[in-house]
Amino acid sequence: MLKLFLRWFIFGLSLLFILKIFWQNGAAFSHIQLSSSSLCFLFFALIITLLAHIWSGYIWYIILKQLNLKNIDLLAILSLYLRSNIYKYIPGNIGHFYLRIATLREAGHPLSLVTLGVILEPILMALAAFWVSLFSLGMSFKAQAKPELILIEISSFILILFLLQPKILNQVLSIVGRIKNSNIVREEIKEYPLLPLLGEVLFILLRGGGFILTAAAFGLTNFRELMGAFSLAWLCGLVIPGAPGGLGVFEASLIALLPQNNVTSLLGVVAVFRIISLTAELIGALSAQNR
């Protein structure tokens, strides 16, 4: 009951924060006009975002292969991943996990291995997003040439590699399983998941690329800062209990992290990027329905 209240409280707080800024800048926002070149940027942002989801499905296939899940077909896994993606917007934010587990379980795969594969994916995503955000934000301050920033980046990278040691990661997965009420996770990781981690880094970069193209359509071009803010906001939307699919938490984090010197364009970017993300997920889900 407390967890449910906390989710709705964070969602409501994030929504109020966004609505307040839109209200204060609504008149200027309504006068935004996009040129043909801007629309071209948005089109490619949609394509890259869709490719990011397809790539993420492929990485999930690699994770399942590393867990020795037998007789899995790449196209079937991609189809399941894309179809289930939109289920994360169901209240509770576990609909996509449930569908993936149920579908693979019905196909005869061990429940413990399937659950482990489903839980491992967002953990690797979170670690990848954390490092990309730290590296990007550190690069955006390179003019100051502060040695401590470089030290933090190197230390964080080493720490992430250390945390992915199977013995440590198994303990983390056990804790996450209890949080998700998934005590059925009895399997343990035996292979170091370096390849899936690198794949998730590329996923974050692709998603960030879609965001940067959206920002470029509105005249925002500080790419390193945009990538850093996107990665950190995406991470917040993933780990903070709030609205399904990070809806509201992600947008509020982006607005808080990026400079407010051009609020009108920033609001346009935030609103349009959410539409692009939803459209890409819907296209992926509809395409996968044909399998």
C-alpha 59/C-alpha 119 separation (Å) is 13
Chain Cα centroid distance, residue 66: 22
Contact between 217 and 39 under an 8 Å Cβ cutoff? The reply is yes
Q: What is the DSSP letter of 186?
A: -
Nearest to 17 by CA among 254, 245, 278, 265: 254
C-alpha 229/C-alpha 224 separation (Å) is 9
123: left (phi over 0), alpha (psi -120 to 50) or beta: alpha
C-alpha 255/C-alpha 253 separation (Å) is 5
What residue type is assigned to position 47 of the chain?
A: I
Q: Can you give the residue ranges of every domain in the chain?
A: 2-14+38-288
Task: Give residue 266's pLDDT.
Answer: 84
Contact between 234 and 246 under an 8 Å Cβ cutoff? The reply is yes
| pLDDT tens digits, one per residue of 175-225 | 766 655 555 555 667 788 889 999 999 999 999 999 999 999 988 888 888
| pLDDT tens digits, one per residue of 109-139 | 888 888 888 988 998 999 899 889 888 876 6
Task: Give residue 187's pLDDT.
Answer: 60
Mapped onto helix, strand or coil, the DSSP state of residue 193 is coil
Task: Give residue 24's pLDDT.
Answer: 52
Contact between 233 and 257 under an 8 Å Cβ cutoff? The reply is yes
Task: Give residue 197's pLDDT.
Answer: 93
Q: Is the pLDDT of residue 143 over 50?
A: no
**Residue 72 CA: distances (Å) to CA of 66, 101, 187, 269:** 12, 14, 18, 39
Q: Is the pLDDT of residue 49 over 90?
A: yes
Q: Is the pLDDT of residue 11 over 70?
A: no
| pLDDT tens digits, one per residue of 235-276 | 888 887 656 666 778 888 888 888 877 777 888 888 888 888
pTM for this model (two decimals): 0.83
**Residue that has been written with the tokens 């003019």 in this structure:** 143
